[in-house]
Amino acid sequence: MQPDALQRLLNSMADALFPAKCLGCGRLFQQDAGTPPTGHPNGFSAAMAAHFCPPCRDTWVAVASPLCSRCGLVFKSREGEDHLCGRCLDRPGAFTRARAAGVYANALQSAIHALKFKSQVSLAGPLGALLFDTFRHHWTDGDIDVVAPVPLHRHRFRRRGFNQAYLLVRRWALPDAILVVRDLLVRTRATAPQTGLDRKQRQINIRNAFSVSRPGQSTGKRVLLVDDVLTTGATADACAAALIRDGARRVDVLTLARAL
């Protein structure tokens, strides 16, 4: 028997004896190659084939136009071209533009929750690969100098044991000219969780919560902030403002998910 055929046989036997449990619906399922469904260019189905059953993988919704050309908000109407949303027209904020892989719902939301709150760090690999594909789709060579994960406060880091934003980017195969700087920013004070707060409350909660770890490190740099979810953009704006004060030339934002 050829090695490839033997490996397929062994994989089939393992799947039959030890089916996976879907992170979405909780049912047992047999893993497959996870061919991405048509219209889902970021490949969530392929990346998460070991963690979600096919029906749950198909609930993934890729972020697609029309959307806000700055903050990446997906418009409810699926007609028309990209344009600025009302919020960005009124108060554009500190970062230049934000993009995300998928809508914060269904299987993607379950995957992020499993990574952050259930310590399933094995998800960081496939989710990071999905995020890297999104990065390459929206940014070309020479657009970015530094990739910086949004930091956790040291107390939350000790409780969780990891920063999910850093785990998403640590294995990216980037050109030598682009640096991943784990501690470009620090969270200088503990804040309440942003979940359940409206935009104004989030802005107040996060105000003056970030600073650069070494002044001047971002001066003249084009920085890409990376996080798991963008909701109102309050955290991203607070981080971007700290970098702009330090002399950053530009700050963009990339997240796994964009809340509607």
Rounded average pLDDT over 147-166: 94
Mind listing the pLDDT tens digit for each residue in 215-255?
A: 999 999 999 999 999 999 999 999 999 999 999 999 999 99
Do residues 103 and 258 touch, judged by C-beta distance below 8 A? yes
pLDDT above 50 (res 37): no
Give the C-alpha separation, 247 to 154, whole Å: 25
Q: How confident is the model at residue 75 (pLDDT cuts 50, 70, 90)?
A: very high
Q: Residue 129: which pLDDT band, with cuts at 50, 70 and 90? A: very high
Torsion angle of the four alpha carbons 163, 128, 217, 159, in this order, in degrees rounded to the nearest 10: 0
Q: What is the pLDDT of residue 19?
A: 80
Residue 194: pLDDT band with limits 50, 70, 90? confident
Computed over every residue of the chain, the mean pLDDT equals 88
Tokens of 245: 């004060």
Provide the pLDDT for residue 174. 96
Q: Residue 128: pLDDT above 90?
A: yes
Tally of CB atoms within 10 A around 4? 8
pLDDT at 42 (0 to 100):
46
Q: How far apart, in whole angstroms, are the C-alpha atoms of residue 234 and residue 206?
A: 7
pLDDT confidence bin for 179, thresholds 50/70/90: very high
In one-letter notation, the amino acid at residue 178 is I
Q: Quick: pLDDT tens for 78-96.
A: 999 999 999 999 998 999 9
Peptide bond into 66 cis (omega under 30): yes
Using CA atoms, how far residue 9 sits from 4, 15, 47, 93, 215, in Å, is: 9, 10, 22, 55, 56
Spatial CA neighbour of 131 closest among 184, 169, 177, 163? 169
Q: Report pTM.
A: 0.87
Section 31-54 average pLDDT: 69
- Contact in structure between 107 and 52 (CB atoms under 8 Å): yes
pLDDT of amino acid 208: 82
| Structural domains of the chain ordered from first start | 85-258 (3.40.50)
